[in-house]
Chains A and B, each alone.
Chain A
Amino acid sequence: EPEVTQTPSHQVTQMGQEVILRCVPISNHLYFYWYRQILGQKVEFLVSFYNNEISEKSEIFDDQFSVERPDGSNFTLKIRSTKLEDSAMYFCASSPAGGMSQPQHFGDGTRLSIL
């Protein structure tokens, strides 16, 4: 069964540095998402992406964050200048189409640790 893959599984970065988290969505999926989960808290929506542009973003997704689909397979989340509070698990997800009743498939996540 096809899966969403995320790399790296664990990223350790100094505060203030840029970090790029990578995701390869399922190949025939059209909608892509990033979520994060701070330790001990709920999974929170960051951004959704369709047709090469952001379709929705949360208030967490400020100017420090950006997403890109640089080629036909990768979907990346960039944090420009990391802060301690960016430490979290970051999950990528994809779905075959938007709208109701289209289940999202999640990757294993990247654990981001900011020192």
Chain B
Amino acid sequence: AQRVTQPEKLLSVFKGAPVELKCNYSYSGSPELFWYVQYSRQRLQLLLRHISRESIKGFTADLNKGETSFHLKKPFAQEEDSAMYYCATSSGGYNKLIFGAGTRLAVHP
């Protein structure tokens, strides 16, 4: 069965520090990986997906099939990056999303 693991419940950093939110997945086929973000009192929003290979708000994520990872990185964290971050994989077909438990990123001034 597909599974997504986010080992850190909380990541606390200071403004300007690099950030890496970890995500590992298990999937038997070709995975589709996503990062969703939820700012305080807002809806889940798609941040980025591996197929796009883009950078959004300074965040990037690279799919590493050898390590089955899709870690989210940003070189210099900003206070407005504070939010819950969820890694997710889709299960083909009708695109059901399977989420990790989420990591709360807290960026301190």
Contacts and interface: CB of A to CB of B under 8 A. Distances in A.
A98 B94 contact: yes
Given A100-B32, A108-B43, A42 B101 contact: yes
B42 interface: yes
Which of under 10, 10 to 19, 20 to 34, or 35 or more describes the interface residues of A?
20 to 34
A42, A45, A93, A105 interface centre (most CB from chain B within 10 Å): A42
A3 to B, nearest CB: 8
A3 B34 CA distance: 19
23 contacts: A31-B94, A33-B97, A41-B101, A42-B102, A43-B44, A43-B86, A43-B99, A44-B99, A45-B96, A45-B98, A48-B94, A48-B95, A50-B94, A55-B93, A56-B96, A95-B95, A98-B93, A100-B95, A101-B49, A101-B51, A104-B46, A106-B44, A107-B43
Interface of B: 32, 34, 36, 42-46, 49, 51, 86, 90, 92-102
